Structures are given as structure tokens and as C-alpha cells.
């Protein structure tokens, strides 16, 4: 899996494998993993180190950390990133650098001073920013930043310089200066929206860029002989003249273009930068980045959820980018560069732009990926994204259900060398993915099934049987040694969910629809009330579908916002805007208490006040029932298993407990990894690290 010049690479992609000089260091190709969070940070240093090392193994020439807090006056608890506050934080970073260097890649560190983006909930230090102003975070923390004095600015420069020296001593090859995504203090100083200072750091663009200039110069002076100094800068705050415009950023690069060793360009807010495929296409930032290369001789890196090598080549050949910056595509497939190099483009596990990875960081859990179930399990569970251990004692497996759980189990079991039969009731691969990817804005999600289909059909030891709805008798008769039940779930028709733990009152003549009805082509007409007690994406997507089909839609949710949980996928603002613009009649903080034939009773979740809304039909998006009857029946007949040669029966994915698609691919993968492995009993099912206790 090494980069091999004599490989069967398509010569069209040769340009992607050219080395590029970045100041004092050289990147071996143009595949550049830009900084990205992972939910592990300082809590899970070995997980993060292995994850980055795997990407180096997969062929990326530059691998960066997530943002690294440089000082306790600027930390972003509850979000878990890396820290370099003092020497004690260095060992975990050294581990990461070593893992990256082992595979001949460059290690970069994104030093960050959050300023007005860090409420300092953990350190209790007073936040500092360009001016006195409230902290700007995802939650409205009731804390203000204090305007930095000139002495504070001198302190900040010293802290950044010290962090740069520590980073160099950890072995990093690139030491970043960061001002993008609304996170770095440099952006806050640059923008006339957040900087209304009247001293030499405010006013003109030259003054607002003074801190950036000084910090670049400090960093170059401190470590520039050995380390490259890239700047990660926003390309637009998207506030019009109120904030930093794309033209002003071009002027900044006009002034400082030759100072750093590389320009890494991205958006002024994370939501815009990491837009989901529902709202942003591949290469969505192209127009905002185009022309920057004419302002500097230094290499330029940009992002755009690049998964197509042809788009990557176009970015380089048309003079827009020198490096193909990837965060999510490198998460979904850490071996993307090697696969292009080896002429295996069809094996790329393309990112679907769902932002489940982001939710790990947003929730304080740990990141996971819909497409790559091994992400952040590389160290915890010793899972490699490309390699499976050889099969264990048994020889064959029957997987029932070709949804994401069943398909991933089949793919991975096949790689282990088992004989696998995949039985699917319908005539198609994909299960829920096939249905959901036909909904507005979700077509890219089809890649979950497409990738696995590609991988399954080329394995001679795997057979798929369509039109095969199996029952218990058949499964017992077939006598496979291992049975994996991945039969999915069904949306409930009785309104049971978070608001109603028992069926809600529904009139016999009411027209009730479920998401399954809509996805299978049974759609209502006229006035439709959609009750979303699920709070993730599907309710709003179905509302969009109904509006497309000409329905008048009332969207009712007990939450304060539409699709409330999508704040964690950075989509909530885009979703609510879309529904408003499409003309949906939105009712927040409302519960449905009764469904009549042509009206629905809704209740204010605070006051209990009742209203009646006219509706010809109601779509209930409340919760799902696992399709586990096959599993339960097999369990009750356990005494018959041995006679039929059956050793194990397991239920996985939505059939076990309905959840997002990423949970299903993970469940399928886990099943394949653990088959025939020793039972770990009550042991914690993964490795973890504990806080190092002080000696006293
Ligand atoms: P998951 O997300 O857990 O993979 P899905 O609902 O996406 O679940 O997929 C479940 C798949 O199982 C569907 O394609 C469905 O047609 C199939 N299926 C359900 N019951 C049976 C059965 N008894 N025999 C074979 N296939 C089944
Ligand atoms: Fe891409 Fe979704 Fe994986 Fe994130 S979780 S890398 S968006 S496929």
C-alpha cells in the first residue's frame, strides 16, 4: 500500500502525485489533510495519534491536527480539542507526530487562540478579544470577552511563539497561524464586524491585519528555519459589508502574500465550510478561492469535500489550488490517495457529506463516520480501515437484510474469508439508504450502498439472493453456522415517540401516513400536517418532498426549532431557512394531542393551550419499531440450533435498535470483526486512556 511510481495509476492523475515545496519542507504529493476535529482531542490522545497515522499510511502527504488550544485564557470546553498549554501537553502530540512520520508524511499543527469564541468554562480565565463583546459560540454563554490591551497583545504574541517552539520540539513540520471558521482571534481582529478598535490594531485593513502580520513574523522567526508556517484564513464572512468580504481577504493576501509559506483558505464559519451534501456540492468554495493564487507565489490549499480525482485534477490544472485539502473525504477514506495511485478509483469510499463526523465533536462524544466505521476505532479497537483479520473457527454466515448494516457485515465478513450468503427480501441493495437517497437533497447518500455493492460483488465467497424474504423455518433449514439478522425497522403509525409513550388518540377515519409510506410512493394530497417528534433530518426532508408534490404543509414540532438535532450536523439554520422559504407553516413548541378526520389538535408544550389546525392528512414522524421478529423467533428456538448446525444468531443495526445510518454500518462492521473472537465477557469493549493522577 505504498506510493509506487510503477503502479497502475491512470496517468491523468499524475499531477496529483507531484511533490510541492512548502517553505523548508517538501510534501510528497498534493493530498493535504486539512485540520479537522474528531471528538477525541486531549481526552483520547492515542486514538487521535493512530487515526492520523493511518491517514499517513493511506498516502496523504500532509496530516494536520485539529485546532490546538495554546493557552488557558482561550479554551473551548465543552468541545474536546487538543491542547499545548505547557510542556506537559507535549508527549501526546509527539505520539501523533511519530505515527505520521512513520509513513513518510508531514505533520502539521493548527495553533489556535479562540479569543471571543472561547468562554473558558473550564479554566475560568477571563476571555480576551479585540473588543468588549459577548462570547460567540453555538450556545449563548452568558460571558463576555474583555478588549485586549496592548500588553495583552504582547502576551498573546509570546504565548503563540512559545506554542510554536513547543510544536517544533514535538517534531511538527508545519506550524499554523489560524484565523478562520469564526474560531481564531486573528479573524476577529481582521473583521470590522468584531474589531472596532481605535488604536493601531483597528480601523484600516492594514491595522486590522497587524496582529496577523506580527504573529506570522513571530512564528517564522521562532521556528521558520525548520518548520513551514501556513496561514489558515477565511475567504469570506458572508455578512456583506458588515464583516470581512472576499475582496478584503484578497487585499490581505495582496499585502501579506509572501510572508507565510502556504495559504490554506476556508470559510468564515464552520457551517458554511463544512456544508452537508444536502446544501453544498463538491467544490462549493471554488468561486471564492479562484484567483487567490495570482496574489501569491506560495502554495494554496482549499477544501470542497473533494472525492472525485477528476475534480481534484481540474483544481490543480486550472490554477485554482496547489493542494487538494480534505477533511471529511480523508475521514471516509483514509486511503483515498493510495487508491488513486494504485488505479483503484472505484474502491474509494466516498464521503456522503452527512456530517455525522461533526456530531461527535458537537456532542462531546467521539466522532464516527457513516462510511468508515473504523474512524476513531483504529486504536480503541485496533480496527484498520482496509484490513480485516483472517476468519475464525467457523466457515459460513447467513446475513438477512441488505441495508447498510447487512451490507457492511457482508463486505467485511467476505474480506475475512467467510462464505457469506446475503438474503434480501426486495430486489435491491441498500435498504433504507436506497429509499432515503431518493428524497430531496439526499442523492449522495446512495454512496453508502453503492460502495458496498461494488465491494460485495467482487468477492467470490459472497453471494446475494434477492427476492428472498426469509422466515424462521427457512433459516433453520438452511443451517448456516452463523446468522446475522439485519432486517431494519419500520416507522410507527400510532404516534408513539418522545411525546407519546403510548399510542396517541387517532380517529378511525383519519388519514395517517408514515415516512415509509411516503418513501414507498404513497403520498397524501391537499393540506398535510407533519408531526416531527424525531428531530433529526427526515421530518424536514419529507416536508420538502410534500411541498414539491404540491401539498400545503404544516410542520409541527415540540422542539424550539425545526430539526433541532441537526444543530450537531451544522445544518439546522439551512434547514429552517429552506422550510420558511418553501412556505411551510411552522409550529414550534407544539405537541399533537389528537388527530381527527380533517383536523389536528395541537398543544403548547409550555402552557398546555390547545389549538386546532385543519388537515386532510397527517404524517407521523415519531419513532421506529425494530423489525426483530425473526430474531426473537429464532431465539425462542435455541434448543433446535445445534441440530441445524447453527452456532450463533445475532441481531444488528436498526433491527436491534433504530438509529442513524452510521450506527448501522458500525454495527455491521463490528459484527464482522467480532465473529468467532473470544467472548470478552464484562470487559470494557474498547481500549481507553485515563487521566494521569498527580502524585499528590
Ligand atoms: P439497517 O439500517 O439496520 O441496515 P434497513 O432497514 O436499511 O436496516 O435494511 C433492512 C433490509 O432488510 C431491507 O432491505 C429489507 O428489505 C430487508 N429485510 C427485512 N426483513 C427481511 C427478511 N425477513 N428477509 C430478508 N430481508 C429482509
Ligand atoms: Fe463524510 Fe458523513 Fe463520514 Fe463525515 S460522517 S466523513 S460527512 S461520510
Q: Which domains does the chain have, with CATH numbers?
A: 5-363 (3.20.20.70), 396-488+627-674 (3.40.50.720), 492-625 (3.50.50.60)
Query: Residue 555: in which H helix or E strand, if any?
Result: strand 552-556
Out of 421, 471, 488, 650, give the residue to mutate to test ligand 1, the one with the largest number of ligand atoms within 8 Å of its CB.
488
Mean pLDDT of the 314-318 span: 96
How confident is the model over 478-492, as pLDDT tens digits? 989 999 999 999 999
Mean pLDDT of the 686-690 span: 95
**pLDDT over threshold 80, residue 273:** no
Q: Is the pTM of this model over 0.95?
A: yes
**pLDDT over threshold 50, residue 3:** no
* Ligand number nearest to the C-alpha of 409: 1
CA-433 nearest atom, ligand 1: 7
- Ligand 1 close to Cβ of residue 401 (< 6 A): yes
**The pLDDT of residue 282:** 85
How confident is the model over 209-235, as pLDDT tens digits? 999 999 999 999 999 999 999 999 988
Mean pLDDT of the 530-541 span: 98
- Ligand 2 close to Cβ of residue 448 (< 6 A): no
| Annotated catalytic residue, options 178, 418, 666, 671 | 178
Mean per-residue pLDDT over the chain, rounded = 96
Is residue 178 annotated as part of the catalytic site, yes or no? yes
Q: Which of 355, 403, 367, 353 is nearest to 565 (CA)?
A: 355
From the CA of 685, how far away is ligand 1's center (Å)?
A: 27
- Ligand 2 close to Cβ of residue 371 (< 6 A): yes
**The pLDDT of residue 4:** 55
**pLDDT over threshold 80, residue 612:** yes
**The pLDDT of residue 275:** 85
**The pLDDT of residue 2:** 46
C-alpha span between 154 and 131 (Å, rounded):
16
Angle between helices 538-548 and 572-582 (to 10 degrees): 20
Please say whether the beta carbons of 36 and 45 come within 8 A: no
From the CA of 635, how far away is ligand 1's center (Å)?
A: 18
C-alpha span between 345 and 8 (Å, rounded):
11
Beta bridge partners of 479: none
Out of 281, 351, 367, 408, give the residue to mutate to test ligand 2, the one with the largest number of ligand atoms within 8 Å of its CB.
351
Q: Give the number of residues written for the chain.
A: 696
10 Å CB burial of residue 440 (0-12, 13-18, 19+) is middle
C-alpha grid cell for residue 495? 404516534
Please say whether the beta carbons of 246 and 288 come within 8 A: yes
- Ligand 2 close to Cβ of residue 351 (< 6 A): yes
**pLDDT over threshold 90, residue 264:** yes
Lowest mean pLDDT across 168-177, 270-279, 474-483: 270-279
Lowest mean pLDDT across 27-36, 284-293, 536-545, 573-582: 284-293
How confident is the model over 331-362, as pLDDT tens digits? 999 999 999 999 999 999 999 999 999 999 99
How confident is the model over 77-96, as pLDDT tens digits? 999 999 999 999 999 999 99
**pLDDT over threshold 90, residue 297:** yes
Dihedral angle computed from the Cα positions of residues 605, 606, 609 and 615, in that order, rounded to the nearest 10 degrees: -30
**pLDDT over threshold 90, residue 666:** yes
* Number of neighbouring beta carbons within 10 Å of residue 311: 15
Cis status, amide bond into 78, omega within 30 of 0: yes
State in Å, rounded, how far the first CA of the chain is from the last one.
48
C-alpha span between 67 and 302 (Å, rounded):
17
Amino acid at each position: 500500500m505504498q506510493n509506487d511510481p510503477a503502479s497502475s495509476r491512470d496517468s491523468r492523475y499524475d499531477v496529483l502525485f507531484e511533490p510541492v515545496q512548502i517553505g523548508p519542507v517538501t510534501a510528497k504529493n498534493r493530498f493535504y489533510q486539512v485540520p479537522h476535529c474528531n471528538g477525541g482531542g486531549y481526552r483520547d490522545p492515542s486514538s487521535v495519534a493512530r487515526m492520523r497515522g493511518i491517514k499517513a499510511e493511506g498516502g496523504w502527504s500532509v496530516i494536520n491536527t485539529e485546532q490546538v488550544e495554546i493557552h488557558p485564557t482561550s479554551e473551548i470546553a465543552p468541545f474536546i480539542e487538543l491542547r499545548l498549554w505547557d510542556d506537559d501537553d507535549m508527549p501526546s502530540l509527539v505520539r501523533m507526530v511519530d505515527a505520521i512520520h512513520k509513513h513518510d508524511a508531514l505533520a502539521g499543527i493548527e495553533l489556535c487562540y479562540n479569543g471571543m469564541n472561547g468562554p473558558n468554562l473550564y479554566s475560568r480565565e477571563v476571555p480576551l478579544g479585540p473588543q468588549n463583546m459577548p462570547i460567540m459560540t453555538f450556545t449563548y454563554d452568558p460571558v463576555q470577552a474583555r478588549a485586549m490591551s496592548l500588553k495583552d497583545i504582547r502576551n498573546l504574541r509570546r504565548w503563540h511563539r512559545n506554542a510554536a517552539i513547543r510544536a517544533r520540539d514535538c517534531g511538527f513540520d508545519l506550524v499554523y497561524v489560524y484565523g478562520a471558521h469564526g474560531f481564531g482571534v486573528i479573524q476577529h481582529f481582521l473583521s470590522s464586524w468584531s474589531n472596532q478598535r481605535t488604536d493601531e490594531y483597528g480601523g484600516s485593513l492594514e491595522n486590522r491585519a497587524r496582529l496577523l502580520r506580527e504573529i506570522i513574523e513571530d512564528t517564522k522567526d521562532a521556528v521558520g528555519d525548520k518548520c513551514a508556517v501556513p496561514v489558515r484564513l477565511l475567504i469570506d464572512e458572508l455578512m456583506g459589508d458588515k464583516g470581512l468580504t472576499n475582496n478584503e481577504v484578497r487585499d490581505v493576501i495582496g499585502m501579506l502574500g509572501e510572508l507565510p509559506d502556504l495559504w490554506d483558505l476556508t470559510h468564515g464559519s464552520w457551517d458554511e465550510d463544512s456544508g452537508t451534501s444536502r446544501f453544498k456540492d463538491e467544490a462549493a468554495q471554488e468561486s471564492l478561492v479562484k484567483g487567490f493564487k495570482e496574489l501569491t507565489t506560495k502554495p494554496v490549499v482549499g477544501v470542497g469535500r473533494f472525492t472525485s480525482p477528476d475534480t481534484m485534477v481540474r483544481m490543480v490544472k486550472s490554477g485554482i489550488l496547489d493542494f487538494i485539502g480534505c477533511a471529511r473525504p480523508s475521514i471516509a477514506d483514509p486511503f483515498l490517495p493510495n487508491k488513486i495511485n494504485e488505479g483503484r478509483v472505484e474502491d474509494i469510499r466516498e464521503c456522503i457529506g452527512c456530517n455525522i463526523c461533526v456530531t461527535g465533536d458537537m456532542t462531546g462524544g467521539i466522532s464516527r463516520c457513516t462510511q468508515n466505521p473504523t474512524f476513531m476505532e483504529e486504536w480503541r479497537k485496533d480496527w484498520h480501515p482496509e484490513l480485516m483479520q483472517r476468519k475464525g473457527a467457523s466457515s459460513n454466515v447467513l446475513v438477512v437484510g441488505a441495508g447498510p448494516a447487512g451490507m457492511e457485515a457482508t463486505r467485511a465478513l467476505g474480506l475475512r474469508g467467510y462464505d457469506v450468503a446475503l438474503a434480501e427480501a426486495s430486489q435491491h441493495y441498500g435498504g433504507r439508504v436506497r429509499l432515503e437517497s431518493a428524497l430531496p437533497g439526499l442523492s449522495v447518500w446512495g454512496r453508502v450502498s453503492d460502495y458496498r455493492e461494488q465491494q460485495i460483488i467482487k468477492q467470490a465467497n459472497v453471494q446475494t439472493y434477492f427476492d428472498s424474504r426469509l422466515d424462521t423455518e427457512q433459516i433453520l433449514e438452511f443451517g448456516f453456522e452463523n446468522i446475522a439478522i439485519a432486517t431494519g425497522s419500520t416507522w410507527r403509525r400510532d404516534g408513539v415517540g418522545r411525546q407519546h409513550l403510548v399510542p396517541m388518540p387517532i380517529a378511525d377515519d383519519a388519514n395517517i401516513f408514515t415516512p415509509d409510506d411516503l418513501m414507498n410512493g404513497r403520498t397524501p394530497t391537499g393540506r398535510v400536517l407533519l408531526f416531527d417528534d424525531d428531530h433529526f433530518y427526515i421530518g424536514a426532508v419529507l416536508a420538502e418532498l410534500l411541498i414539491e408534490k404540491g401539498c400545503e404543509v404544516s410542520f409541527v414540532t415540540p422542539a424550539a426549532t425545526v430539526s433541532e438535532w441537526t444543530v450537531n450536523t451544522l445544518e439546522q439554520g439551512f434547514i429552517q431557512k429552506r422550510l420558511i422559504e418553501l412556505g411551510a407553516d411552522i409550529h414550534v413548541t407544539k405537541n399533537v394531542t389528537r388527530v381527527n378526520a380533517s383536523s389536528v389538535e395541537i398543544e403548547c408544550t409550555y402552557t398546555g393551550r390547545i389549538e386546532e389546525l385543519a388537515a386532510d392528512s397527517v404524517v407521523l414522524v415519531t419513532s421506529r419499531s425494530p423489525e426483530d421478529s425473526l430474531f426473537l423467533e429464532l431465539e425462542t428456538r435455541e434448543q433446535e440450533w445445534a441440530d441445524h448446525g447453527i452456532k450463533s444468531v445475532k441481531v444488528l443495526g436498526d433491527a436491534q435498535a433504530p438509529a442513524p445510518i452510521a450506527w448501522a454500518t458500525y454495527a455491521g462492521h463490528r459484527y464482522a470483526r467480532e465473529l468467532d473472537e473470544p467472548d470478552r465477557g464484562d470487559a470494557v469493549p474498547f481500549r481507553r486512556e485515563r487521566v494521569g493522577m498527580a502524585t499528590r
